[in-house]
Structure 1
Amino acid sequence: MNFLIEAATKSLKKAYNPYSGLSVGCALKTSSGKIYDGVNIENSVFGLTMCAERVAVFKAVSEGNVDIEEIAVVASTGKPIYPCGACRQVLFEFNPKTKIHLSDEKILTLLEILPFAFSKDVFE
């Protein structure tokens, strides 16, 4: 099994999901080789819920690691789960070529699933 999928799967138990019951775990690797995990964190005000992917990204960035190379996403259902649109956009900010590992061993790139992202180029 892919080491990122393993790390994401281990993080599932830390998810806070009292409303949906769906646990989502994530693990990302930066260019320095450091691994960060994340889980979904639900809130009774659903708009304030945070996805596992953004939790992991924000942990990495808060420690100065902004060069995200790969990310794995898993769900408690065992079915492959893709990053939502917001997470795709956040990941795009740091590396449009991020590799995304799914639980069915499929590997995609961020550009494949978000081909027309809003980018910092619009500010130039």
Structure 2
Amino acid sequence: MTEPDLDALFEAAAVVRGRAHAPYSGFQVGAALRDEAGRIHAGCNVENAAYPVGTCAEAGAIAAMIAAGGRRIDAILVLADSPSPVTPCGACRQRIREFAGPGTPILSAGLDGLRAHYTLDQLLPTSFGPEHFIHGT
């Protein structure tokens, strides 16, 4: 991934992170992804008093991509203020898997910049995906 691409993802994630609705945990997360057309889509976490119905930043970014007509994730960056790298939760790893391949970069960033670089296959090995379904008949 080139530095301008990384910079654009980081900037988009930083902007939406500041808009996160996190009154319960205080843990704001921003995510930005690049789709197959090179467009950037971003999302932030949205907590809810009924904890299980909150939305992760990655899910918001994926929804924004789909709403804009994108269908493939080329790279995704997750930004949070944490002493160690923050990676997508298990549910979001599966959400990413729906629209990405095993080698898709998943980047973890802190407020000071990039912290870690993974691939989807590293975070979700031997995953279940759309190709497991038998189409037709």
Q: CA RMSD in A?
A: 1.5
Distance 1:84 1:105 in 2: 17
Partner residue of 2:23 out of 18, 43, 54: 18
Q: Is the 8 A contact 1:5 1:101 kept in 2?
A: no
Deviations 1:69-119 (A, max 9, x none): 000001133642100011000110111232111114422111111002221
- State how far apart, in whole Å, the 2-side matches of 1:60 and 1:120 are: 18
Unpaired runs of at least 5, structure 2: none
- Which of 71, 74, 78 lines up with 1:69 in the alignment? 74
Instruction: Identify which range, 94-103 or 65-74, moves more after superposition.
Output: 94-103
Provide the identity percentage: 37
Gap change, CA 1:23 and 1:98, over 3 Å in 2: same
Deviation sequence 1:40-94 (CA, Å, 0-9, x none): 0000111101000010001101221011100000113364210001100011011
**Offset of 1:9 from its aligned partner?**
1.7
Contact 1:53 1:73 survives alignment (8 Å)? yes
Match of 2:59 in 1: 54
Could you state the TM-score of these two structures normalised by the residue count of structure 1?
0.91
- Which moves more between the two structures, 9-18 or 100-109? 100-109
CA contact (8 A) 1:53 1:87 kept: yes
Q: Which residue of 1 aligns with 2:118?
A: 108
Unaligned runs of 5+ in 1: none
Partners of 1:77 and 1:112 in 2: how far apart? 21
Amino acid at match of 1:101: L
CA distance in structure 2 between the partners assigned to 1:32 and 1:91 by the alignment? 17
SS in 1 for 2:18: helix
TM-score by length of 2: 0.83
| Residue 92 (structure 2) aligns with | 87
More contact order relative to length (CA 8 Å, sep ≥ 6): 1
CA distance in 2: counterparts of 1:71 and 1:78, whole angstroms:
20
Aligned pair count reads: 124
Q: CA deviation at 1:10?
A: 2.1
